[in-house]
A and B are shown apart, each in its own frame.
Chain A
């Protein structure tokens, strides 16, 4: 088993493509995006599909990558969630195939 880093970024849908570009430009080998159903934050509940513009929807982007990419990615994503609504978390994970990440 090999040690890797995993980022979970929950970000507002309009900025989701910006987040994807950050991951790609930082050199990760892959990421997965999932639609978020509903949530609670800042004392307010939200749920997807409230309006046609989808500007209140949230998306979760998950990526697993090598530890040496972490400073660059977190710096960029910190900048992104400094402007957009979002939550970023980093965790340690173990993977079976080292060459895939």
Chain B
């Protein structure tokens, strides 16, 4: 039964389209999805998942459990970069600045991995809570603070970079597109409930799976191109970090979920969130806050190694782990 679930996740259209994009990019195909269209797809997906989560939240009563879970998720996102930093430094001998910037990515989350996990759960008939979208949004930011704390010790005080503006990093971190769209859609879904959703469901519910396939085709292309361009900057220790770190995060989160007695669906989603790595919000923040860190290192790892791993093998593994923990 569990292996059937794993196989059906791996062989789902969304994963296969991702593999198609990845393969095409690695084989140097000229295929591409127009940039503005890809950004539009990302906004659409975040709106759809936010609305869906908000509607689910409007139907359920929110108890103290949610606040405990939110606190645990924030703490997890804040602490995981410390583990990532030291394991990365140990396994790859990476310098402090690059290790700190990379660690920040591994405490934050990938919303696309989260969406893919919700689809896999839906396919398996496993229910999850709508408020997990809010948990995902909460986990975007704390890791950036951890990365800055970790990097601070490795930075020489050279004064301010020319053209810097007070509050620009705060705006980048707190008001980046994914946080604004996700939290905003969640609140709109929560406020308007099922009645509001009925009016827009032909646009946000019915075509969702198809749009996700198209988006993952583009993500496959991005991951493949990123891997092709950046793999030379990574040694074996760093490349393997892209695989073992999500597994380490997943194992720690599984213990936490067991302690919190979470449901199967929510356990699988929290494990997936902790095991995923950011490639939208954190890279942009790192370019402003830690410009000396190389994007070719952290983006290649999060987008070129961890994201494909999570999407193909990680999610089925995390669901199996959740089943084991919740049983």
Contact = CB atoms under 8 A, between A and B. Distances in A.
Contact of A83 (B232, B280, B292): B292
B288 interface: yes
Size category, A interface: 20 to 34
Nearest to B303: A51
A50 B229 contact: yes
B226 to A, nearest CB: 6
B28 to A, nearest CB: 11
A45 B225 CA distance: 11
Interface in B6-52: 32, 35, 38-39, 42
A2 B291 CA distance: 38
A94 interface: no
Which of B35, B161, B225, B232 has the most chain A CB atoms closer than 10 A to its own CB?
A: B161
Given A48-B35, A51-B299, A56-B299, A83 B161 contact: yes
A49 B218 CA distance: 11
A29 interface: no
B164 interface: yes
A50 B286 CA distance: 17
B222 interface: yes
A76 to B, nearest CB: 4
Contacts of A45: 229
A97 interface: no
Contacts, number: 87
A85 B286 CA distance: 13
Interface string A46-78: 111111111110000000000000000000110
Contacts of B286: 55
B59 to A, nearest CB: 31
Contacts of B291: 14-15, 83-85
Contacts of A76: 162-163
B296 A44 contact: yes
B293 to A, nearest CB: 11
A36 interface: no
Interface in B193-228: 222, 225-226
A52 B215 CA distance: 11
Nearest to A86: B291
Most buried by B among A15, A51, A77: A51
A86 to B, nearest CB: 10
The 8 closest A-B pairs by CB, nearest first: A18-B163, A14-B287, A49-B35, A53-B283, A79-B162, A21-B163, A55-B283, A76-B162
Interface of B: 32, 35, 38-39, 42, 158, 161-165, 168, 222, 225-226, 229, 232, 279-284, 286-288, 291-292, 295-296, 299, 303
Interface of A: 12, 14-15, 17-22, 25, 44-56, 76-77, 79-80, 82-85
Given A52-B280, A79-B161, 6 more contacts: A15-B163, A18-B161, A18-B163, A51-B279, A53-B284, A56-B296
